[in-house]
């Protein structure tokens, strides 16, 4: 085999090996764990699943949007990571995400909905960290103003605040 063909084959094998790895190698969180992702996932940094601190979430692609909600009288700016990007980071294989809040509120969100819409796992509200008293430290929020069809009782109930865990089923 000549040198250029061997080089092409080596590069193609390296690309194939890289593509088979989880989307993001998960290190252990260095700070306070804000979110645990469990269930049907590939990438783990604990025996139970994947834990994320704020710094780990901030390393994912950041997104922001402003929207009205039933909980605030005026539009508010939310900043965080897209739920679909977070699911990709852990190699999610489940069909449903169960969001679990600090008060044990639980709601199921189809993974397909997270793929189709820009659902945000937000950790900033109006550019400030979200405190528990402000529905933080994390909230799943829909772009209600961008897509009026998302304004429904079902989706308002899926906008889980004080999020602590995502379970893939």
Mean residue pLDDT of the chain comes to 88
Is 158 within the bounds of a domain? yes
Whole-prediction pTM value? 0.84
Domain of residue 63 covers 23-168
Is 133 within the bounds of a domain? yes
Section 21-46 average pLDDT: 87
Which pLDDT score, from 0 to 100, does residue 6 have? Answer: 39
Is 6 within the bounds of a domain? no
Domain count along the chain: 1
From the CA atom positions of the chain, what is the Rg in Å? 18
Which pLDDT score, from 0 to 100, does residue 73 have? Answer: 85
Q: Which of 2-6, 7-11, 129-133 has the lowest mean pLDDT?
A: 7-11
Condensed to tens digits (0 to 9), the pLDDT of residues 108-156 reads 999 999 999 999 999 999 999 999 998 999 999 999 999 989 999 999 9
Is 160 within the bounds of a domain? yes
Is 9 within the bounds of a domain? no
Nearest C-alpha neighbor of 60 from the set 126, 121, 113, 111:
121
Which pLDDT score, from 0 to 100, does residue 26 have? Answer: 87
Would the pLDDT of 1 be above 90?
no
Is 60 within the bounds of a domain? yes
Cβ-based neighbour number of residue 6 at 10 Å: 10
Q: Which of 17-26, 64-73, 153-162 has the lowest mean pLDDT?
A: 17-26
Condensed to tens digits (0 to 9), the pLDDT of residues 66-112 reads 999 999 989 999 999 999 999 999 999 999 999 999 999 999 999 99
Backbone angles phi, psi at 98, to 5 degrees: -100, 115
Which pLDDT score, from 0 to 100, does residue 49 have? Answer: 97
When pLDDT is cut at 50, 70 and 90, the band that residue 18 belongs to is very low
Condensed to tens digits (0 to 9), the pLDDT of residues 53-66 reads 999 999 999 999 99
Please report, for the domain that includes residue 75, its CATH number: 3.90.420.10
Nearest C-alpha neighbor of 122 from the set 47, 71, 48:
71
Section 31-56 average pLDDT: 97
Helices and strands counted in the chain (H then E): 5, 10
* Cross-strand pairs, 66: 77
Is 4 within the bounds of a domain? no
Is 11 within the bounds of a domain? no
Encoding tokens for residue 32? 């306070």
């Amino acid at each position: 085999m000549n040198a250029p063909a061997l080089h092409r084959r080596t590069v193609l094998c390296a690309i194939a090996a890289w593509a088979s790895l989880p989307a993001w190698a998960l290190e252990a969180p260095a700070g306070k764990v804000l979110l645990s992702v469990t269930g049907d996932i590939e990438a783990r940094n604990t025996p139970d699943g994947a834990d994320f601190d704020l710094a780990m979430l901030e390393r994912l692609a950041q997104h922001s949007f402003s929207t009205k909600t039933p909980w605030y009288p005026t539009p508010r700016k939310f900043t965080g990571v897209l739920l679909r990007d977070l699911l990709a980071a852990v190699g999610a294989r489940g069909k449903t995400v169960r969001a679990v809040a600090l008060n044990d509120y639980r709601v199921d969100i189809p993974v397909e909905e997270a793929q189709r819409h820009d659902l945000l796992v937000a950790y900033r509200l109006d550019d400030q960290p979200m405190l528990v008293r402000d529905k933080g430290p994390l909230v799943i929020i829909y772009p209600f103003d961008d897509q009026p069809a998302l304004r429904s009782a079902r989706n308002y109930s899926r906008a889980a605040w004080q999020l602590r865990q995502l379970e893939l089923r």
